[in-house]
Structure 1
Amino acid sequence: MTQGVVQTAVSLIYPARCLTCGDTVDSDFGLCGKCWRDTAFVGGAICDLCGTPLPGHKAEEALHCDECRTVERPWQQGRAALLYKDNARKMVLALKHGDRQEIAQPAARWMAQTIRDLPLDNALVAPVPLHWLRLLKRRYNQSALLAQALAKLIGASQCPDLLIRTRKTTPLEGMTRDERFTMLQGAIRVHPKRRRRIVGRQVLLVDDVMTSGATLSASATACIDGGATAVFVVALARVAKDT
């Protein structure tokens, strides 16, 4: 029996379902038409550093949002596939806390689309890290699942444990931007046994959600300090004001 026949038989028994509402869809790990329309994909004019949608049309020159004009970003460019609201928020929370690990594959496809204009040159793909105690409780790092799937899609090498958290930090929800940056200062560094992999090389950092950018900033700074030539970032979803 060929692989195609097996896949057809499986699809008849277990038809593909929409990631958010559960309705039958035409392809694996997709969204139905209604949920697709109700999902805020990022497009058009965006901030070149964090991926936030901006008013107006896509421009030739790099645009920056108000936040990125006031906060120094240690990375070169950044992108996000979705706005963190409605269906996107549901999918992120399901991936992060609901053990819906199958969401990582389609999410990585959306992320691959949003980074296709970045000048990546043999970049090493790596996730932002979880502290080992949190990883033990959750059993998996959702950003690592995204990074693994994304690296495979774009044909890049990846390192799931490139970065480590040197201390356990409290959850960032509810903190101000300055509190988030202070909390994460010095909390992330390159794994001593993985440093050789980034010296003189670009790094593409992957996270599930970008809010203030504090976690990505700490991770990017660690990569630069560890010898990376440049850092790019991509998040599945960006927390941003509606435009």
Structure 2
Amino acid sequence: MAVVAQLARTFAPVVDLIYPPRCPACGEGIAHQAGLCLDCWSSLEVPAHGAPSGHAVPVYAATFYNETSRKLVLAYKHGGRIALARLLAQLMAARLPEPVAGASLPLLVPVPLHRWRLWSRGFNQAALLARELARLGKGEADVAALVRRRRTPHLGGLGRDARDRVLTGAIRVNRSSAARLAGRDIVLVDDVLTSGATSRACIAALEQAGAASITIACFARVEEGHHLGPAPKT
């Protein structure tokens, strides 16, 4: 890893010359490849504490879903800017509590994509975030722990009960991970937390598998007063 880091530092000026660093949210020129411009940094809104109403488990969100975080999510998930996973995970990691000394690290479990959506997109954005959080020492990633058994429609416009009905039975625990989940503290990882219907379906599956505790970690959290247009599809 030290050799890789040294090579990255050595070739950084060449990379910057060929691909001038730009803010991934607004396109403004910046000093380094990783990061945001000052205006975009200052426009991110960090939740003060706690989970939004309607969530029974703790939620740790890096930001509220506003115009800047929306641009970052769209660039990452739909613009193919997968290198943003490191930046988004770093912001998420800053909100997560430090693992308890001497205790087992929590399992980092991403919200799953249906195989058709995974094939069309080429990656699961939540799985990349889980892997980056693991590299940052926030737990052990198990990116195959949950499986989305069927493709579900976009949930926009549906009420809570209708959303939950759509997702009933859609997400289950992967048999190969079931034994590993039992008795473990789980961090459910996603990029954006909207209505919480998908996370509730994931939580139900994890609880059935015997998880000791469950928390949610996300980059952006949709909250009334901060929601600027439709959240991106899963």
* TM-score, normalisation: structure 1: 0.82
Give 1:18 shift: 1.0
* Cα displacement (A) at 1:117: 5.9
- Greater shift, 174-183 or 224-233, is seen at 174-183
Superimposed CA distance per residue, residues 206-237 of structure 1 (whole angstroms, 9 cap, x where no aligned partner): 01111111111111111111121111111111
Map 1:35-184 → 2, pairs under 5 A: 35-40=40-45, 42-44=46-48, 46=49, 48=50, 50=51, 52=52, 67-68=53-54, 73=56, 75=57, 77-116=58-97, 121-184=104-167
Q: Which amino acid aligns with 2:37?
A: C
> Contact (CA 8 Å) 2:23, 2:30: kept in 1 or not?
yes
Alignment pair present for 1:205 and 2:188: yes
Supply the distance in 2 between the matched residues of 1:118 and 1:176 (Cα, whole angstroms). 36
Secondary structure at the aligned position of 1:87 is classed as helix
Equivalent of 1:195, from 164, 172, 178?
178
Q: Counterparts of 1:177 and 1:155 in 2: how far apart (Å)? A: 31
Unaligned 5+ runs, structure 1: 53-66
Alignment of 1:13-24 (within 5 A): 13-24=18-29
CA distance in structure 2 between the aligned counterparts of 1:20 and 1:235, rounded to whole angstroms: 18
Match status 1:238 vs 2:211: no
Structure 2 equivalent of residue 32 of structure 1: 37
SS of the aligned residue for 2:39 comes to: helix
**Quick check: 10-19 or 120-129, which moved more?**
10-19
1:228 and 2:233 correspond? no
Q: Which runs of 5+ in 2 are unaligned?
A: 227-234
The amino acid that maps onto 2:63 is L
In structure 2, relative to structure 1, the CA distance for the partners of 1:232 and 1:239 (3 Å cut) is same
Tell me the TM-score normalized by structure 2.
0.85
| Cα root mean square deviation, aligned | 2.2
CA distance in structure 1 between the partners assigned to 2:60 and 2:162 by the alignment:
24
| Distance in structure 2 (CA, Å) of the matches to 1:117 and 1:242 | 30
Counterpart amino acid of residue 39 in structure 2 = K
Which residue identity does 1:100 align to in structure 2? R
Q: Which moved more, 1:117-126 or 1:145-154?
A: 117-126
Shift in alpha-carbon separation, 1:122–1:100, aligned structure 2, 3 A:
same
CA distance in 2, matches of 1:112, 1:186: 30
Q: Bigger CA drift: 3-12 or 100-109?
A: 3-12
* CA–CA separation in structure 1 for the residues paired with 2:157 and 2:73: 18
